[in-house]
Amino acid sequence: MAPMITAEAVQRARAFVAQNARPLDQAYLDHRLAATAGSAARVVAELAKFQTTEGGFGRALEPDVRTPAPSAIATSIAFQYLRGIEPWVPADMAGPAISYLVRTVDRQAWVWPAVDELVGEGPHAPWWTPNLDRFRGYALNPTAELLGYLYAYRAGVPEDVLDRVTQTVLAAVAAAGVIESPYELMCCMHLAQTEAAPAEVRHALHRLLMPSLEAADAEDTHLDLLRLTPTPRSFGYEVVRGGLERQAERLIASQAEDGGWRPTWHAWNAEAHAEWRGVITSQAVISLLAHGLVAT
């Protein structure tokens, strides 16, 4: 039997977010609970505070990267928020972000490094030191996810950029065989779940992702199966369902007395830790509701 969180526990989580989370995450949770044009506009207004003059996003949108400068990783996170408020995504926010990605793609490797040397302009977690050898040279994380956003908002995206990045991603997935990194797997799943991506791209990804989903380790604290397959209708849900329900049971049991959840990783910075608590708690409520795991 699937685990269920009580309605009272959800209310405590919502109260935690209202009292402790960033205004962005407060607005986003409110929108996901009751989506309207007005609630989407609140998300946009808060997200705009993280967009830079270059069009990309920074300013600690990713709490562990606290540089004011834009980065690929922060921009990918911005598009995750935007995907959550469709169909109310404003062109004057998405367009400049896409232009930033087109300008900053590495035109030799056809990838986006998650961060660059500008990460040093602010505090950052030690794992965000630039390293071009990390994550298969970034061919999957974050490039696969960002490719999905280029397809979703492709007006003005040069065809050669789409083609070259697509080939880079598909070659990396094929070479990997089984994707063991939870972050690479999440990025590939974001692309596979992008309806605007060409059918042949999504079908190729589906074939290559199946063995990775079958091998996914539900005990890995870095792997969030509830977000990997965001609803029971998502591609791959039946493959990971057993592990997802075990993770949901642990998630429900680990809710803190104050109603929130805590990161499972080292708290390198107190401000980042506090912001992550708000992000994780809002995500937990959204995921549990989306999977029907809230007792009525």
Reported as a single tens digit per residue, the pLDDT across 75-130 is 999 999 999 999 999 999 999 999 999 999 999 999 999 999 999 999 999 999 87
What is the token pair recorded at 173? 């997935």
Collapsing DSSP states into helix, strand and coil, what is residue 154? coil
Task: Tell me which residue has tokens 């071009």.
Answer: 132
Q: Is the pLDDT at 133 greater than 80, yes or no?
A: no
With a cut of 90, say whether residue 20 has pLDDT above it. Answer: yes
For the stretch 7-42, what's the b/e string if a residue is b when 16 or more beta carbons lie within 10 angstroms of its beta carbon? Answer: eebbebbbebbeebbbebbbbbbbbbeebeeebbeb
Residue 80, CA distances (Å) to 11, 133, 146 in order: 24, 25, 10
pLDDT at 75: 98
Residue 109 · residue 137 · CB < 8 Å: yes
- Check pLDDT > 80 for residue 51: yes
Residue 212: pLDDT band (50, 70, 90) is very high
**Residue at token pair 């779940």:** 193
Judge whether residue 259 has pLDDT over 90: yes
Asked whether residue 190 carries a pLDDT value surpassing 60, the answer given is yes
* CA angle, residues 95, 77, 84, in degrees to nearest 5: 75
pTM confidence score: 0.97
Averaged pLDDT, 142-152: 98
What mean pLDDT is reported for the chain? 95
What domains can you pick out in the chain, each with its CATH number?
7-290 (1.50.10)
**Peptide linkage before 87 cis (omega within 30 of 0):** yes
- Mean pLDDT along residues 208-235: 96
C-beta atoms surrounding 55 within 10 Å: 20
Would you say residue 193 has pLDDT above 90?
yes
Residue 203, both tokens: 């079908």
Q: Can you tell me the mean pLDDT for 240-263?
A: 98
Q: Does 152 score more than 80 pLDDT?
A: yes
Beta strands in the chain (DSSP E): none
Tokens 């998300």 belong to 43
Weakest mean pLDDT among 84-88, 133-137, 223-227: 133-137
Name the pLDDT band for 247 (thresholds 50, 70, 90).
very high
User: What's the pLDDT at 2?
Assistant: 84
